[in-house]
Amino acid sequence: MKWEITLRVFRFDPERERKPKFAEYEVPVDEYTRVLEALLWVKENIDPSLNLRYSCRMAMCGSCGMLINNKPRLACKTIIKTLKTDVVEVKPLPKFKVIRDLVVEMDDFFDKHRSVKPYLIRRNVQEQENPTGFYFQTSEEVRRYIQFAYCIMCGLCSSSCPIFRSGGRYLGPQALAQAFRYLADSRDEGFDVREKILNSDKGVWRCHFAGECSEACPKGVEPAEAIQRLRRKLL
């Protein structure tokens, strides 16, 4: 079955325009069409100057986070039929600076992630870099952190967080959940070096438990739960 929807898209070209505007396109869809395909249909058939990020189209690369009908979602994972509307509105992820159309600036988001030292820290660096045998880890110990390692860095959680970029320097749910991913790993010995930043005014105590982050996450990471567990570890 085929039908038509109206795709209402945020447009902004900083070279030519002082203010963003919305453009509307009539797009043919079927029960499999995702928002990403609808946007690409517009780009290929109506207006090639529409710009967005996209790559894997299977919800693994994290490129196509955007605000779809006012919810942060991945365009490749959002089937139009499931939105149950004839008008689909697409805007760039909030809390990020717009570069053009649906493309936003993410450098600072990546820096915040880096600041929590999101890698396996071992005291014996010599052995870590010249391994002699696998670290012991049971499947139960893998289970304790693996869900938090699903993060694809799409930014949906942080963009939905009411505290993130609301004046302070809060690291946001993505970075904090990734700190927890390593702290919960039985192989990691980096609690001491991460403790200070997690306890700082950018850290876990700024979270107000709105829970929006866990709802927004397309991979089931549950950043809100990670933050709660981090607090318990820090107390």
Q: How many CB atoms lie within 10 A of CB 209?
A: 10
Q: How far is the CB of 235 from other proteins (least distance, A)?
A: 25
Q: Is 39 in the site for other proteins (CB under 8 A)?
A: no
Instruction: Residue 90: name the closest of 71, 62, 114 by CA.
Output: 71
| The only residue of 22, 86, 97, 142 in contact with other proteins, by rule CB under 8 A | 142
- Figure out which of the listed residues 39, 153, 157, 213 binds other proteins, where binding follows CB under 8 A: 153
The answer to whether 102 and 10 are in contact (CB under 8 A) is: yes
For the bound state, the minimum distance from the C-beta of residue 208 to other proteins, rounded and expressed in Å, comes to: 28
Contact call for residue 3 and other proteins (CB under 8 A) = no
SS3 content of the chain, % helix, strand, coil (to 5): 40, 15, 45
Q: In the range 89-108, which residues lie near other proteins by CB under 8 A?
A: 99-101, 103, 106-107
By rule CB under 8 A, what count of residues binds other proteins? 64
What does each C-alpha distance from 35 to 32, 42, 82 come to in angstroms?
A: 10, 11, 11
Choose among 153, 136, 134, 229: nearest CA to 191: 229
Q: How many CB atoms lie within 10 A of CB 143?
A: 9
Residue 88: strand pairing partners = 7
Q: Does 120 bind other proteins (CB under 8 A)?
A: yes
Does the footprint of other proteins cover residue 149 (CB under 8 A)?
Answer: yes
In the stretch 169-208, what mask flags binding to other proteins with x, by CB under 8 A?
Answer: -------------x--x-xx--------------------
Query: CA 206, CA 103: separation in Å to the nearest integer?
Result: 28
Residues within the interface to other proteins (CB under 8 A): 13-16, 30-32, 34, 43-45, 48-49, 51-63, 77, 79, 99-101, 103, 106-107, 110, 114, 117-120, 122, 127-129, 131, 133-139, 142, 145-146, 149-153, 182, 185, 187-188
